[in-house]
Amino acid sequence: MDLSSDDDSAAVAQTYGARVLSREPFPIVEPLRNEIAAAAHTDWILALDPDESVTPGLAHALKELAQRDDLDAIVIPRMNYDLGYPPSNRIQRYEPQLRMYRRLRVRWPEIPNTLPAVPDQRKFYLPQSDDVVIMHDRSRNVPEILERVIRYAPMQAQSMLDQGQRFSAKAMLTALAAQVDKEFFRAEAWKDGLPGVLRATILVGYKFYVWTAFWQLSGAQRTPEDDRLIRRLGTVLITSRRLLGIVFSGPHFFRKLLSRKREI
């Protein structure tokens, strides 16, 4: 499906024998997958974005799985490249994506980032292996990162609101803390060097903007309860900084760390 693209992707697809559907741009992808399924003639649909590609091993595996009658959906690991580098930790390296499905058995909900309801016994999970992944070349530069945040963060916030979630500073800080724990610590971002730390920062920053948009959509209210929580958090941070001293003394700590490295 071509959403009024300004490159030659539609023409390239046609040279390979693809039937190209054209429509006006649409902000979320889920309803478009239902439109594609309605127009398709084959039993299975493989959904890919323009910045994604499949490995030869994945293509072979999907052809074999498409012959099975006991499946309606295939969950495929996706390897996200950020700033040109893939993550090494399995938490980030193999992101499960439901991308191949039977067009007459699976219907996508019209809510951003929501999966269709498919019984577990009708789903197949491909193994976490570099041979059978979707390659996703995202966040290649700062303008692309900002464009992604501007496009998706408000939509995800609206989805949270539509699903009945209520904003509070406690919920926001809990979600951000979980994201920091996942991206920096459980994923061991530092083991991928500077690209790993930048990736983790980008992902946590995106979550921050989602919650900022959610707060605004919820009325942008400043409440006494939220203020009390933020003040308590500030007190804890100031106390920790004083107790730990040099660890949180910023520039002095890093100058000392770098001087030690040069001595070594």
pLDDT digits (tens, 9 = 90+) for 190-210: 999 999 999 999 999 999 999
**Residue 131 counted as domain residue:** yes
pLDDT in tens, 235-254: 998 888 787 765 555 566 65
In angstroms, the CA 123 to CA 98 distance is 9
**Residue 1 counted as domain residue:** no
Domain tally for the chain? 2
Same domain, 96 and 173: no
**Residue 232 counted as domain residue:** no
Position 6 scores a pLDDT of 79
- Whose structure tokens read 């499906």? 1
User: Considering just the CA atoms, what is the radius of gyration of the chain in Å?
Assistant: 22
pLDDT range class, residue 25, cuts 50, 70, 90: confident
Position 252 scores a pLDDT of 63
Q: Which two tokens stand for residue 219?
A: 């009325």
pLDDT tops 90 at residue 1: no
Position 7 scores a pLDDT of 83
**Residue 203 counted as domain residue:** yes
pLDDT tops 90 at residue 22: no
Q: By percentage, how much of the chain surpasses pLDDT 70?
A: 92
Same domain, 160 and 172: yes
Same domain, 36 and 101: yes
Same domain, 106 and 169: no
Confirm if 126 and 132 have CB atoms less than 8 A apart. yes
pLDDT range class, residue 222, cuts 50, 70, 90: very high
Same domain, 166 and 132: no
**Residue 187 counted as domain residue:** yes
Position 37 scores a pLDDT of 87
b (16+ CB within 10 A) / e for 3-42: eeeeeeebeeeeeeeeeeeeeeeeebebebbbebbeeeee
**Residue 4 counted as domain residue:** no
> What is the pLDDT averaged over residues 30-55?
89
Same domain, 52 and 128: yes
Which of 9-23, 102-116, 212-226 is most confident?
A: 212-226
**Residue 145 counted as domain residue:** yes
Same domain, 88 and 159: no
Which of 39-53, 110-124, 202-216 is most confident?
A: 202-216
**Residue 11 counted as domain residue:** no
Same domain, 113 and 193: no
Same domain, 130 and 181: no
- Whose structure tokens read 């239902």? 34
- Whose structure tokens read 């498409």? 66
Counting every residue written for the chain, the total comes to: 264
Nearest CA to 208 among 231, 180, 181?
A: 180
In angstroms, the CA 160 to CA 166 distance is 8
Position 264 scores a pLDDT of 53
Confirm if 155 and 28 have CB atoms less than 8 A apart. yes
Domain boundary among 80, 109, 136: 136
pLDDT in tens, 150-167: 988 998 899 899 889 999
Position 79 scores a pLDDT of 96
Position 23 scores a pLDDT of 85
Domain boundary among 136, 151, 180: 136
Q: Burial, 222: exposed, middle or buried (Cβ in 10 Å; 0-12, 13-18, 19+)?
A: exposed
Range of the domain at 145: 140-221
Same domain, 90 and 55: yes
> What is the pLDDT averaged over residues 138-147?
92
Per the prediction, the chain carries an average pLDDT of 89
Same domain, 211 and 163: yes
Position 106 scores a pLDDT of 93
> What is the pLDDT averaged over residues 119-139?
96
